Amino acid sequence: MSCNTKSQCVLESGFSFDYENLFGEGKVTAADLKEYSEAIKKAHEAMKVMRETGVIRGHLSKDGEPEKVLFSQLPYIKEGNLNSPASIGRLKEFSKSIQNRVDAVISFGIGGSYLGNKVLFDVHCGEFWNSMSTEERNGYPKVYFSGNNIDPRRTTDLINHMVANAKVNEAHGEKRPYRLMMVVISKSGGTLDTMSNFMVAYEALKKYPNIEVEVVAVTDPNEENKTLLKKLATDEGWPTFSVPDGVGGRFTVFCEVGLVTAACIGFDIEAFLAGAKAMDQVCQSEDIWNNPAMLNASLKFIAAKKYGRTSEVLMPYADYLKSTSEWYIQLLAESLGKKFNKEGEVVNYGRTPIVAVGTTDMHAQTQQHQEGTLDKIVQFIKIAKWNVDPVIDDAFPTVKKLSDISGIPMSQALEVARQSNASALASENRFNATYTLPELTPYHLGELLYMLALSVAYEGDLANVDAFDQPGVEAYKRIMGPSLQEIKSKLG
């Protein structure tokens, strides 16, 4: 790994973190880092303790009990870990069992049980996966997502679409039923959004004569004190995968919650975890200039604390990374948006996360980024080498303005746009940074997602807030439950 304190960290894989427009004179300075050096050192020690023991000072479960934090274990496939050789082997067997057998999968989940899974799907499959032939999908099923909102129209549309798929199957002379797998993801089994969609779709589609419905449950594995969904799966004979203790939903893309979706599409699980592992190993360095997660967290923490940069834009220059930005929304908001610090004092800490995509939002949000309130850090994601790269054709040679942009590969035009945006922002003291993936592969995706996850863990310690709880989410749930019961009693 090579790090330059003036501009960027570059890993051996080619992954880089360019912070030139975030650190230096007129930005976060060396003096700022020195001022917070003891806090940064303390945060690094906390990460070491977390890796070794799972203990994070001040962290309690939503029930108020001490709870280990185990997400940093997930990149390591070994006996006794949450991701073991046996668990990865079982995912591979599951993948083989649906290949060339299951026609479609509906994944029911919300929060981390949807957002991380959607990242893996988008990166591997792209937008038109469900329009491809079975052969083009290498025998893997079509994949649909539900349970991430309680939307009666979309749920009905999805049911009707499955029925239409089954009818097409019949029309093509298939002698077998349309095979539909429902993957329902909920640790408790009581998640309203997920379970309401699942129950509506399950009841509707299992009645259709030419659809064969099977269910896989991803839930708490505890056998002694079974959750609602675990008990249901046991009673119904559904196969199960685990939502493990010690891994909050926003970190579950690295465990069976996300990897089940990976298995459904033939995504390279081991390469993805290897990328996360490589990033974790680099981030064990005590030297801030050789630890991209520690540096990233420190620069953004100081930018917010001293310079008022309390909004954070994640802007990938790739359509299929928009869901990565949406995943990051939850990661940042739930991890760092906290009313209390670890001593119970009111601090109301956190930065507002914003989804953007280049070049789309250069025509939508950049006016605000460039000239609006001076409260933002804009982070770009760049892909250095694309696996396809059409050259812009000279389709209209007599139209000079269009002819002038011909002959340029689309990737280079995209990069010129990103660089121009970064330079324009920097010229107005608008902090920005860039993460570069050498290629859009499972390995490099693993590096990126893990760096971002570990960054919020570091920042939680720097800000003295619990980055692993989410008490604010429980507030609306306490109101919602009785309200639903009141509606039910009126209807009954």
Question: Which sequence positions are flagged as catalytic?
Answer: 334, 363, 477
Nearest partner of 324 among 292, 357, 301, 299, judged by Cα: 357
Which token pair is 311?
């909004």
